[in-house]
Amino acid sequence: MLNLALCHRSYVNETEGRERRDLANNEKLEFLGDAVLGLAISAHLYTIAGTRNEGDIARIKSFVVSEDSLYAVAQHVGLSDYLLLGRGEEMSGGRLKKAILADSVEAIFGAVFLDAGFQGAERVIGRLLYDEVDRVLANEHQQDFKTLLQELVQRRFKSHPRYRVLKREGPDHDSTFWIDVTIDGRAYAPGKGKNKKQAEQQAAEIAYRAMGHLPPGGRD
Q: 166 and 180 in contact (C-beta within 8 Å)?
A: yes
Ordered DSSP codes for the chain? -HHHHTB-HHHHHT--HHHHHT---SHHHHHHHHHHHHHHHHHHHHHH-TT--HHHHHHHHHHHTSHHHHHHHHHHHTGGGG-B--HHHHHTTGGG-HHHHHHHHHHHHHHHHHHHHHHHHHHHHHHHHHHHHHHHHTT-S---HHHHHHHHHHHHHSS--EEEEEEEES-GGG-EEEEEEEETTEEEEEEEESSHHHHHHHHHHHHHHHTTSS-TT---
Our answer to whether residue 54 is catalytic in this structure is no
Give the active site residue among 34, 89, 103, 132.
34
Our answer to whether residue 34 is catalytic in this structure is yes
Give the active site residue among 106, 132, 180, 205.
106
Active site residues: 34, 106
